Structure 1
Amino acid sequence: MRLGYKKDFWDKYQIKAEVKINPLLNPSLLLTGESGSGKSYALKELLGTFLKSKEGNGAELWFLNYKDSLDFRFLKNYPRYFCGEECRAGFEAFYERYNEIRANEGEEIKHMTIGCFDELPAFLLSIQMKDKKLADRYMRNLGEIMMTSRSYKCGCWVTNQRADSAYYINGTREQFHTRILLTRGMPSKESLAMLGFTREDLKSESYSAGEGLAFIDGQGMCEIKFPQYNVQRVEAEILQHLSCKP
């Protein structure tokens, strides 16, 4: 599937050179960036591209929108969509579904299963304030999935503003097969370090919304760009390709 476009080719030659990944080999994705950097815009494009791809055909998508972002309310009638306080039940249902897939490992797995968590730290922080032990269990559950999921065609897509290690215990953050940092202007040294990037990885003097760095297992580092698109068209394509219709 197309992850995005190579920023240097786009800027220098106006060539749309695609950055591609194989979702079966790189099923888990971490998308970070401050408010206004284009995370939700990029995530919507990624979902549409994935669901239309050969690997994403028939995929089982679980979507948690804890902050009830307007960008994803078009999914509100989708049975595996959860927002606000519903996200606790959604997280537990996804974890239960993952364990069910693992228990039936002898059977042929026909499609991918992806848990997509928009602004995961906000959800975990809300749980921590009420029940720290439960929040710790959810973080351990996430780590368990991340470390074992590829064998079962499963993965987690997570967005957040800061990839703080407090929410990715026991090295979970390093288990993401694809890591993207979107930024405006220049990213801070701290935000780069959280994803394993350094100042030397930056090739541009400034970045606009929808631009940044990507690290892909097996491919390494590159600058990436998500161009403008027709939002209504992409939303319609996502709904059309969901395996469980609203």
Structure 2
Amino acid sequence: MIYGYATGADGKPSAPIKLNIQDYCHILLTGSTGSGKSYALLYLIGCLLKDSPETEVFICDFKNSEDFRFLNDYPLYYAGQHCYEGVMEFFRRFNDARENGKSFKRRVLIFDEYPSYIFYQSMMDKDNKTKLVSDVTNAIATTLMLGRGISHAAWLVTQRAESSLFANGSRDNFQIIIGLGRLSKEQKGMIFTGEEIPNEPMKRGEGHLLSDGHKLRKVKFPLISDINDWKWHIYDILMRNLEHNRDSSQSTPLA
């Protein structure tokens, strides 16, 4: 799968950063407002479905943004407060795969604006005397720690990737970390511990990528010439794949 493009000395995209999706399944995408996170996420989803079109994708969009409204009719798209349902349904299928050994090629949970949801749900839990936020953080932590072996992945999108968002130190289980824009010194220390990152201006969609076993690389997400067409192809693949999985689950073997 392509995770963006490495940039040359002139700042222009050079070679694609290609890594095996099975080994590099968990992604942490972080950056401030306006750094290009949503655009980069759409690019990565398109690359995922091109490389692995049979993937079942759960998308949790807490801010219910215009960027993902094209998925309103997709049954595994969860917006606003429904993000809890999305995580729990993904985790139910995750546990089913672990316990019963059911064959499934790939399943990915994508959570945009993850910290905002955690902050909101923490307040709601306090008012309602519930523990929904613990359900979510524990489900994601378990996925990050155990998901790679059964082809289940978590992609989280944040403005700040504070360790408090990740139960049981699970932040260390991301194989891909992408920091877009000009990160603060504190942010650099959070996600790129021990790496020397020069303090230089970054355009939208530019940043750094750290992957297991590789040196830190500058990364750029190329311009999508027709974003509406890109979205349509994502929607089309997701819906066709959902229908295929439904038909497969209902079929019975011949005697």
Shift of the alpha carbon at 1:15?
5.6
Cα displacement string for residues 201-223 of structure 1 (whole angstroms, at most 9, x for unaligned residues): 33x73211100011111223111
2:63 paired residue among 43, 64, 67:
67
The one-letter code of the counterpart of 1:82 is Y
**Partner SS, residue 131 of structure 1:** helix
1:179 paired residue among 174, 177, 180:
177
The one-letter code of the counterpart of 1:209 is R
Shift of the alpha carbon at 1:136?
2.2
Shift of the alpha carbon at 1:235?
0.4
Q: For residues 191-206 of structure 1, what are the structure 2 equivalents within 5 Å?
A: 191-197=187-193, 200-202=196-198, 205-206=200-201
Q: Is 1:128 matched with 2:122?
A: yes
Partner of 1:116: 110
- TM normalised by structure 2 equals 0.87
The runs of 4+ residues in structure 1 deviating greater than 6 Å are none
**Partner SS, residue 59 of structure 2:** strand
Summarize the Cα distance change of 1:170–1:110 in structure 2 as closer, same or farther, 3 Å threshold. Answer: closer
- Tell me the distance in 2 between the aligned counterparts of 1:195 and 1:66: 23
Summarize the Cα distance change of 1:3–1:212 in structure 2 as closer, same or farther, 3 Å threshold. Answer: same
Partner of 2:219: 224
- Tell me the distance in 1 between the aligned counterparts of 2:233 and 2:99: 32
- Tell me the distance in 2 between the aligned counterparts of 1:196 and 1:174: 11
Q: For residues 1-246 of structure 1, what are the structure 2 equivalents within 5 Å?
A: 1-8=1-8, 11=10, 14=12, 16-53=14-51, 56-105=52-101, 107=102, 109-131=103-125, 133-183=131-181, 186-197=182-193, 200-202=196-198, 205-229=200-224, 230-242=226-238, 243-244=241-242
- Higher mean alpha-carbon deviation, 42-51 vs 122-131, is at 122-131
Contact 1:114–1:154 (CA<8 Å) still a contact in 2? yes
- Tell me the distance in 2 between the aligned counterparts of 1:5 and 1:121: 27
- Tell me the distance in 2 between the aligned counterparts of 1:20 and 1:237: 21
Contact 1:52–1:241 (CA<8 Å) still a contact in 2? no
- Tell me the distance in 2 between the aligned counterparts of 1:19 and 1:149: 23
Structure 1 vs Structure 2 CA RMSD: 1.7
Summarize the Cα distance change of 1:42–1:201 in structure 2 as closer, same or farther, 3 Å threshold. Answer: same
Shift of the alpha carbon at 1:238?
0.7
Cα displacement string for residues 178-237 of structure 1 (whole angstroms, at most 9, x for unaligned residues): 000001xx32111111102456233x7321110001111122311100121121121022
Summarize the Cα distance change of 1:127–1:15 in structure 2 as closer, same or farther, 3 Å threshold. Answer: closer
**Partner SS, residue 171 of structure 1:** helix
The one-letter code of the counterpart of 1:228 is L
Q: How many residues align?
A: 236
Contact 1:57–1:111 (CA<8 Å) still a contact in 2? no
Shift of the alpha carbon at 1:95?
1.0
**Partner SS, residue 201 of structure 1:** coil
- Tell me the distance in 1 between the aligned counterparts of 2:71 and 2:217: 31
Percent identity over the alignment is 34
Cα displacement string for residues 113-168 of structure 1 (whole angstroms, at most 9, x for unaligned residues): 00000011111111111215321232122111110000000100110100011111
**Partner SS, residue 220 of structure 1:** coil
